[in-house]
Amino acid sequence: MITNKKYDKTTVARRSGDFFAPKKALLKLADGTSVEGKIPDWFDGAICGEVVFNTGMTGYVETLTDPSYAEQILVFTYPLIGNYGVHLDKWESPKVHAKAVIVENMVDDWSHPGSNQSFDEWLKQQNVPILSQVDTRELTQHLRDKGTMTGWLQPASAKPKSLKPEIPLISINEPKNYNKTGKKKVILVDCGAKENIVRSLVARDLQVRRVPYDYDYTNEDFDGVVLSNGPGNPTDYQPTTAIVKKCLSGNKPVFGICLGIQIMSLAIGAKTYKLKFGHRGHNQPCIDEVDDSCVVTSQNHGYAVDAKSLPKGWKVLFRNLNDNSVEGIYHTSKPFFSVQFHPEASPGPTDTEYLFDKFVSSL
């Protein structure tokens, strides 16, 4: 069992809200490991999800509202979470998508002039339980060694429940338009798109037509296409992949982000695979293989593209400097390119924001 024995009563009361999280709980991993902590007294159910970790020091609001975390149990490696409260203008979607949150110290006494409420109050409103007083770095080391796996979170006194995680496809139901007076019109294929992708495109005076993941836009009038981020296995997006394949038979610019690179790769006949524990954080270094420069990126993904499976006419654009996995691809003669990281950041560094300008210049 992974426990946290170093806490004294002063630390618990000041940081982890003993009054807020009085009940013992267990996170049970698929390999038989148990993680002990405290959960809020209002939570009496059971949560099942893929247990993943994020190494970011800030940006917990943007991270938790990222649809790519749908149905996952998110472990924050940084030991203090909640210290600056919750900014209502930092959401990347209308709700928290993670099933549960695992932290070491949950800060009750938050402080920031732009915040509207505390972290624990926000999660309670979102009906998302938080397991605190956990040595998240030890848990992270375990996940790095053994790989990402399913976990079950429930009160320690509860009877075990047999649950299976289900990753939904997240998208809008009907097309939605932004900035109708923009100079160029782009299609944003919504597979769980972050709001900052929309904001980044509108800020460059583009009309944006946001469409459902299975919407066939290929016969409409547009200047370019953006393929969004999203949760789950890219092979589950068969309608999206088929439409992208049709789109790539033409010459209009296509720009993929995160899940977008995986869908683009499948559309051209390449293969994807699941990483051992994924890349989730704001400090992932990548090398630009075209100009040999280095960028620091914001990432959230569990799958990657197999470089050896890229067909003729396609090359690797970026690689991850930690594990050499593919972080970007491009076509050698047509205006198609994708990246595995998040150039819109939010949260994270803005080193690769220029890629939106690159896309705009190709329209």
Give me the active site residues, please. 258, 342, 344
Q: What phi and psi, each to the nearest 5 degrees, are found at residue 163?
A: -125, 155
Query: Please, are residues 298 and 248 in contact by the beta-carbon 8 Å criterion?
Result: no
Encoding tokens for residue 223? 């200047």
Rounded distance between C-alpha atoms, residue 347 and residue 209, angstroms: 24
Residue matched to tokens 């090359």:
315
The DSSP H or E segment spanning 113 is none
Instruction: Report residue 204 as tokens.
Output: 């460059």
Of 281, 263, 282, 283, nearest in space to 272 by CA: 263
- The candidate with the shortest Cα–Cα distance to 304, out of 288, 282, 328, is 328
E-only strand ranges, the chain: 23-29, 34-39, 47-54, 72-76, 80-81, 100-102, 105-106, 130-131, 149-155, 176-178, 184-190, 206-212, 224-227, 254-257, 272-288, 293-305, 314-320, 326-331, 336-339
For residue 295, give both structure tokens. 């960028």
- Neighbouring-strand partners of residue 226: 188, 255
If you ran DSSP here, which 8-state letter would residue 32 be given? S
- Give the N- to C-terminal CA distance of the chain in Å, as an integer: 55
SS3 call for 163:
coil
d(CA 92, CA 176): 16
DSSP state of 12: I
The candidate with the shortest Cα–Cα distance to 27, out of 139, 127, 154, is: 154
Under DSSP, is residue 180 helix (H, G, I), strand (E, B) or coil? coil
CB 213 within 8 Å of CB 182: no
